[in-house]
Amino acid sequence: MKDTLEPIALDGNANEQPSVAERPKAGQQDGFSNRKLIRPSLGSRHEKSERPERAERSANGKKAPPPNQTYAENFYYQKQMQSRTPMVVTLSDGEEVRGVIEWYDENCIKVNRNGSQANLLIYKSSIKYVFKEAESNGRK
């Protein structure tokens, strides 16, 4: 097996051997032999990361506590109020109240009920869970 590579003629005759005059001499390098493989350093790879930065740590090295309120509950109530979605509010004693959420605040919600039934102001502390009436699928 040969230890060196011989250049191939560019005229399309790959089987022909180049003449002795065309071969590079021992001290010379052809255009292909001094190429280097370029690899990015690991440091630059991590700098381009699209992952969001971690939360900064406080002076004593502990993580900052999560926010007290995520506003997910407020967003849900707003969405149901705007679309006037019929809801079922299940109270902690098992009673179900059906109606549309008209209003809410930090401690209670107001449910407008259908027909001759009175509208209710319900404390959130007495609510077991709330779901859309369309999703009831025979619950009772």
pLDDT digits (tens, 9 = 90+) for 16-65: 555 555 555 655 555 566 677 777 677 655 555 565 566 566 667 788 88
pLDDT bin (cut points 50, 70, 90) of residue 128 is: very high
User: Contact 2/14 with Cβ under 8 angstroms?
Assistant: no
Report the percent of the chain where pLDDT is more than 70: 60
51/45 Cα distance (integer angstroms): 12
pLDDT bin (cut points 50, 70, 90) of residue 120 is: very high
Q: Would residue 125 count as lying in a domain?
A: yes
Q: Would residue 94 count as lying in a domain?
A: yes
Question: CATH number for the domain including 83?
Answer: 2.30.30.100
Domain that holds residue 87: 72-135
User: What is residue 123's three-state secondary structure?
Assistant: strand
Residue 56: CB atoms within 10 Å: 7
Q: Give the chain's domain count.
A: 1
User: Contact 56/64 with Cβ under 8 angstroms?
Assistant: yes
